[in-house]
C-alpha cells in the first residue's frame, strides 16, 4: 500500500542520471590518439537512483532523451551534453511518479535535466580497464551545480562498458522534500548509471556537433 512506500524523488535521480552518462564519456577518452566520442543510446543506457526510506527504499529509473560525450585523453578536456526528460521517471507507482514530477521536480516548468562535462581525471590500465572521475555541471530545477562522478569502465577495441556513481543532496540544492507527502526519506539520493557503446575517434571536441 502507498502508506508503506515512501515517495520517490524523480528530480534528483534524473540529475543523477545525467551525471552518470557523463561517466561513460570519461571512459572513452583513453584508447587512442585524438578525441573519443560516444553517442549515447537510450536502449543501452540505464539510469537508476536509490532513495532510502524509513520503511521502504525507493528505486526509480529514467530514460535518456539524447546525449553525446567526448573526452580528449591528452588534455583531460571533456565536452558534449546529456539531456534527461524530468517527466519520465518510473518507480512502479504511477500516482507517486506523477506527484513527484510535479511537486519535487516541477517538470512543467523545468522539463530538462542537463549535464555538461568539463574534464576528467584518471588513467587506463593495460587491460583496458580504468577508474576515473568525471567533472561537469548539472542543471537541475533551473540551477547549475558542479558535480563529480566516480567511473569504472572498460574500453577494448573501441567498445566501451562503463558504470558511474554519485550522490545528489537534493534538499540542500533547493528541491522539495518529498517526506512531507507520505513518509520520511533521506535527503540525499544515490545514483548509478551504466552504459555500453562504440567509441569514434575524431580530431577535436565538437568536431561533429
Backbone angles phi, psi at 161, to 5 degrees: -130, 125
CA–CA dist 144, 141 (Å, integer): 9
Q: What is the CA radius of gyration of the chain?
A: 17
170 — pLDDT class (breaks 50, 70, 90): confident
Q: Which tens digit of pLDDT belongs to each residue from 109-130?
A: 988 888 899 999 987 777 878 8
The average pLDDT across 148-156 equals: 90
The average pLDDT across 79-102 equals: 85
Q: What is the reported pTM?
A: 0.76
* pLDDT computed for residue 188 by the predictor: 84
Q: Which tens digit of pLDDT belongs to each residue from 31-42?
A: 456 898 988 898
Full set of structural domains in the chain with CATH: 2-202 (2.40.128.110)
* pLDDT computed for residue 183 by the predictor: 65
Q: Between residues 139 and 29, which one has the greater pLDDT?
A: 139
* pLDDT computed for residue 16 by the predictor: 37
Amino acid at each position: 500500500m502507498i502508506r508503506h512506500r515512501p515517495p520517490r524523488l524523480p528530480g534528483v535521480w534524473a540529475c543523477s542520471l545525467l551525471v552518470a552518462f557523463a561517466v561513460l564519456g570519461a571512459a572513452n577518452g583513453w584508447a587512442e590518439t585524438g578525441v573519443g566520442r560516444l553517442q549515447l543510446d537510450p536502449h543501452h543506457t540505464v539510469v537508476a537512483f536509490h532513495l532510502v526510506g524509513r520503511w521502504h527504499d525507493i528505486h526509480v529509473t529514467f530514460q535518456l532523451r539524447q546525449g553525446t560525450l567526448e573526452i580528449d585523453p591528452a588534455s583531460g578536456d571533456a565536452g558534449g551534453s546529456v539531456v534527461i526528460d524530468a517527466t519520465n521517471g518510473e518507480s512502479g507507482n504511477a500516482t507517486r511518479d506523477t506527484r513527484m514530477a510535479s511537486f519535487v521536480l516541477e517538470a512543467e516548468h523545468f522539463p530538462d535535466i542537463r549535464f555538461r562535462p568539463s574534464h576528467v581525471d584518471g588513467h587506463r590500465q593495460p587491460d583496458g580497464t580504468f577508474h576515473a572521475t568525471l567533472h561537469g555541471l548539472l542543471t537541475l530545477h533551473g540551477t547549475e551545480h558542479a558535480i563529480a562522478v566516480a567511473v569504472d569502465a572498460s574500453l577494448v577495441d573501441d567498445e566501451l562498458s562503463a558504470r558511474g556513481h554519485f550522490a545528489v543532496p537534493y534538499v540542500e540544492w533547493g528541491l522539495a522534500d518529498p517526506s512531507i507527502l507520505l513518509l520520511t526519506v533521506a535527503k540525499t539520493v544515490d545514483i548509478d548509471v551504466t552504459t555500453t557503446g562504440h567509441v569514434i575517434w575524431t580530431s577535436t571536441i565538437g568536431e561533429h556537433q
